[in-house]
Amino acid sequence: MEKAINFKIFGKWDVSNIEIHDIGLKRYICLKPMLMPKTYGRARQRFSKANVNIVERLINMLQVPGHRGKKHKIMTHWATGKFNKKAKAVIECFKIIEERTKQNPIQVLINAIENAAPHDEITTIEYGGARYPQAVDTSPQRRLSIALRNIVHGAYDKCFDKAKSLPEALADEIIAAANNSNESFAITKKIEIEKQADSAR
pLDDT digits (tens, 9 = 90+) for 90-123: 999 999 999 999 999 999 999 999 999 999 998 8
Q: What is the 3-state secondary structure (H, E, C) of 70-116?
A: CECCCCCHHHCCCHHHHHHHHHHHHHHHHHHHCCCHHHHHHHHHHHH
| CA gap 35, 37 in Å, rounded | 6
Q: What is the pLDDT of residue 1?
A: 41
Maximum CA extent, the chain: 68
Assess whether pLDDT exceeds 90 at residue 200.
Answer: no
Q: What is the pLDDT of residues 36-80, one digit of tens each?
A: 888 766 666 777 788 888 999 999 888 876 666 666 666 666 666
| CA gap 79, 138 in Å, rounded | 30
Could you tell me the pLDDT band of residue 35, with boundaries at 50, 70 and 90?
confident
| pTM for the model | 0.87
Which domains, from first to last, does the chain contain? 60-199 (1.10.455.10)
Cross-strand bridge partners of residue 130: 127
Label residue 120 exposed, middle or buried (CB < 10 Å: 0-12, 13-18, 19+): middle
In residues, how long is the chain? 201
Label residue 196 exposed, middle or buried (CB < 10 Å: 0-12, 13-18, 19+): middle
| CA gap 197, 134 in Å, rounded | 7
Q: Please report, as a single letter, which amino acid is at residue 27.
A: R
9, 55 in Cβ contact below 8 A? yes
Q: What is the pLDDT of residues 10-21, one digit of tens each?
A: 888 888 888 999
Q: What is the pLDDT of residue 171?
A: 95
Q: What is the pLDDT of residue 78?
A: 64
Q: Which residues contact 28 (CB under 8 A, 6 or more apart)?
A: 49, 50, 140, 141, 144
| CA gap 189, 128 in Å, rounded | 32
Assess whether pLDDT exceeds 60 at residue 4.
Answer: no
Q: Helix count (H) and strand count (E) of the chain?
A: 7, 2
Q: What is the pLDDT of residues 159-177, one digit of tens each?
A: 877 888 889 999 999 999 9
> 112 by DSSP, 3-state: which?
helix
Q: What is the pLDDT of residue 74?
A: 64
Q: What is the pLDDT of residue 85?
A: 87
Q: What is the pLDDT of residue 70?
A: 63
Q: What is the pLDDT of residue 2?
A: 43
